[in-house]
Amino acid sequence: MADAPRLRKSCITPEGLKRLQQEIRRLWDVERPKVAREVTEAAAQGDRSENAEYIYGKRRLREIDARVRFLRKRFDALQVVHPGQSGRDKVYFGAWVTLEGPQGEKLRYRLVGPDETDVERGHVSVESPLGRALLGREEGDEVTVVRPAGPGRFELLEIGYDA
């Protein structure tokens, strides 16, 4: 009998885990009951086959349930990592980095797990080309990142582990 496949753990910051837990609570305790009430009210209006509110509500309930199931399963594959435990002089998981871009622009990113990626907040995955290129680097290092627009060269100006 073959062994069960090993589950690959993904890193997540304590803050990222908290956000996912809050998302589940919001979906399950707020969003789902609200949509369920709306579906019940729409169903009371009669013919469900042409009732857009009923059809949309049922679809939204399925989406909520699927997302909650996904998140609950995902928790088994997550490993909380406290940034800065591996050292603060090199880029590791959870580091904030300041880079100088090809045109001299200053860029600031935090290396996080794939479940926390949020470009608007400056959170990039350690599994992204930029994240992989930065891991283990020190201040002053030059980093080349393979991008769809072609290779980009960045200078690593600063490493920090506090927001």
156-160: average pLDDT:
95
149-155: average pLDDT:
90
Q: What is the pLDDT of the chain when averaged over all its residues?
A: 89
pLDDT at position 8, please?
A: 65
Say yes or no to pLDDT of 101 above 70.
yes
| Residue-wise pLDDT tens digits, 3-47 | 444 546 789 999 999 999 999 999 999 999 999 999 999 888 877
Say yes or no to pLDDT of 163 above 70.
no
- Alpha-carbon 4 to chain mean position: 27
Report whether 152 contacts 145 (CB < 8 A).
yes
96-118: average pLDDT:
94
For the chain, domains (ranges, CATH) are: 10-80 (1.10.287.180), 96-160 (3.10.50.30)
What one-character DSSP code corresponds to residue 48? S
Report whether 137 contacts 111 (CB < 8 A).
no
